[in-house]
């Protein structure tokens, strides 16, 4: 699920929480207004009738957009077997839990990815050390094989043969 989907879910959850807070406070009842106020209000209502219809149209569009977003949210969030009818609050609550689940899953995957990365670095270093060690073993074997193939009756001749072979191997391996 992409980060834009998660952002959309979070926006929807914030919207519902804000509406719930507003509903908790409710609206205070007002005192009755004097007659002259009601006359002025009637004059204003005729004057602003166009604004009222504009407001109604905007509200209608806002509700349609909200309904569309909730339908998209319902498609993204696993709502269970009783998916025929859900309240907005229920859907947003499930979305919130689903987001938390996804965040936990992402954290676990990130930790696993880091662990695998560390293991990969360790194995590469180990491979490099084994490769270097294997090369060193081959050179030592070559030296010992060459020195064992030198046939000499005196120990001095054998030592000079070994040193010659070792020096020759060093020159060929470095050059």
Q: Which residues fall within 8 angstroms of residue 164, CB to CB, at 6 or more apart?
A: none
Confirm whether pTM is higher than 0.75.
no
The DSSP 8-state label assigned to residue 34 in this structure reads P
Q: How far apart are the C-alpha atoms of 57 and 44, rounded to whole Å? A: 19
User: In the predicted model, is pLDDT for residue 162 greater than 50?
Assistant: no
Q: Of 142 and 114, which is predicted with more confidence?
A: 114
- Across the range 32-54, mean pLDDT stands at 68
State the DSSP H helix or E strand holding residue 140, giving kind and residue range, or none if neither.
helix 88-149
Q: How far apart are the C-alpha atoms of 76 and 9, rounded to whole Å? A: 9
pLDDT tens, 40-50? 666 666 666 77
């Amino acid at each position: 699920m992409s980060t834009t989907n998660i952002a959309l879910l979070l926006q929807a959850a914030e919207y519902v929480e804000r509406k719930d807070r507003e509903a908790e406070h409710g609206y205070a009842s007002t005192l009755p207004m004097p007659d002259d106020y009601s006359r002025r209000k009637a004059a204003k209502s005729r004057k602003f009738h166009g604004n009222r219809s504009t407001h109604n149209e905007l509200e209608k569009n806002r509700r349609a957009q909200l309904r569309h977003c909730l339908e998209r949210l319902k498609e993204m969030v696993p709502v269970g077997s009783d998916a025929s009818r859900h309240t907005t609050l229920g859907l947003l609550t499930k979305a919130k839990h689903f987001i938390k689940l996804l965040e936990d899953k992402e954290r676990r995957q990130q930790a696993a990815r880091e662990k695998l990365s560390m293991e990969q670095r360790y194995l590469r270093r180990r491979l490099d050390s084994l490769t270097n060690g294997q090369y060193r073993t081959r050179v030592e074997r070559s030296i010992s094989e060459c020195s064992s193939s030198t046939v000499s009756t005196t120990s001095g001749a054998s030592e000079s043969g070994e040193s010659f072979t070792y020096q020759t191997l060093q020159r060929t391996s470095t050059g």
